[in-house]
Amino acid sequence: MSSKTTILQQIRDAKPAPRRLPNLPPDPSPDPAGWEEAFREVLAASKATFVAPQNLLDYVKGSGARTIVSTVAGIDGTLDLLAIDDPLQLAGVDLAVLPARLGVAENGAMWVSEAEAVHRVLPFITQHLLLVLERKDLVGTMHEAYRRIDIAATGFGVFIAGPSKTADIEQSLVIGAHGPRSLVVCLR
């Protein structure tokens, strides 16, 4: 008997009587008035910073980053992502500028899939990350977020809610663990 058959049979012998799958509660009434403020506040608490849309170009130019990649229209990178076939070649990226598809007010999480990142490792391997999000793509909670996106539409997608961080040494917060050392958000 295969291990699969064994495990499934043991589950059938052991499992409890059927229990109904609960319905999820309806979304809270659509009151997006406070969303942007909540979104900004929670991201600031996670040590992300913001750049105004009119300053975006200047910010990228003035960032001091030598190797820049961008998939945001109107922002030019110094490296053509489509010309790269091995993700290891992204090890020297200083700044990645990517669109986020969706933002969640309650926790600051932003959805970036491989459609936006082209290479899955890009939002992680870059030293600094800049995400551009349209105001209209803000939602209130994670419940709404998962209704709006299709997580299986691409092979990989990630919610990003700040620069990479760790508190593994005596609970001291350190920004820049393995991923980006900073996250800048442009809400437009």
Partner 1 sequence: MTHARRAAKFLLDEARTDWHDASLWHVRSKRDGSISGIPEWESLRQLGSDIKDNVLSNLDAYLEEFEERATANGVIVHWATDAEEHNRIVHGILQHHGVDRIVKSKSMLTEECGLNDYLETQGVEVVDTDLGERIIQLRSEPPSHIVMPAIHLKKEEIGALFHEKLGTEPGASDPQYLTEAARQHLREKFLAARAAITGVNFAIAETGGIVVCTNEGNADMGVHLAPVQIHCMGIEKIIPRAEHLGVFTRLLARSATGQPVTIYTSHHHRPKPGGEMHVVIVDNGRTTQLGREDFRNSLKCIRCGACMNTCPIYRRSGGHSYDYTIPGPIGSILSPGIDLKKHGDLAFASTLCGSCSDVCPVKIDIHEQLYKWRQIVSAEGHLGAAKRLPLLGAGTVLRHDTLYNFVGQAARTALRLAPRAAVYHRFNAWGESRELPEIPRESFKQWYARTQNPPA
Single out the residue of 65, 95, 97, 145 in contact with partner 1 (rule: CB under 8 A): 145
Single out the residue of 37, 52, 57, 177 in contact with partner 1 (rule: CB under 8 A): 177
Q: Is 136 in the site for partner 1 (CB under 8 A)?
A: no
Pick the stretch among 52-60, 68-76, 101-109, 130-138 that binds partner 1 (CB under 8 A): 101-109
Residue with tokens 């190797």: 67
Nearer to partner 1, 57 or 151 (CB): 151
CB 75 within 8 A of CB 56: yes
Dist. CA 4–CA 11, nearest whole Å: 11
Q: Is 106 in the site for partner 1 (CB under 8 A)?
A: yes
Q: How far is CA 81 from CA 3, 131, 164, in A?
A: 43, 17, 22
Q: Is 169 in the site for partner 1 (CB under 8 A)?
A: yes
Q: Is 155 in the site for partner 1 (CB under 8 A)?
A: yes
Single out the residue of 49, 55, 78, 166 in contact with partner 1 (rule: CB under 8 A): 166
Binding mask 52-91 for partner 1 (x = CB under 8 A): -----------------------------------xx--x
Nearer to partner 1, 46 or 63 (CB): 46
Closest-CA residue to 50 (of 188, 187, 161) = 187
Closest-CA residue to 63 (of 110, 108, 97, 112) = 97
Q: Is 162 in the site for partner 1 (CB under 8 A)?
A: yes
Dist. CA 127–CA 138, nearest whole Å: 26
Dist. CA 119–CA 134, nearest whole Å: 22
Q: How far is CA 103 from CA 52, 111, 142, 172, 184, in A?
A: 16, 7, 9, 28, 14
Single out the residue of 40, 44, 46, 79 in contact with partner 1 (rule: CB under 8 A): 46
Q: Is 24 in the site for partner 1 (CB under 8 A)?
A: yes
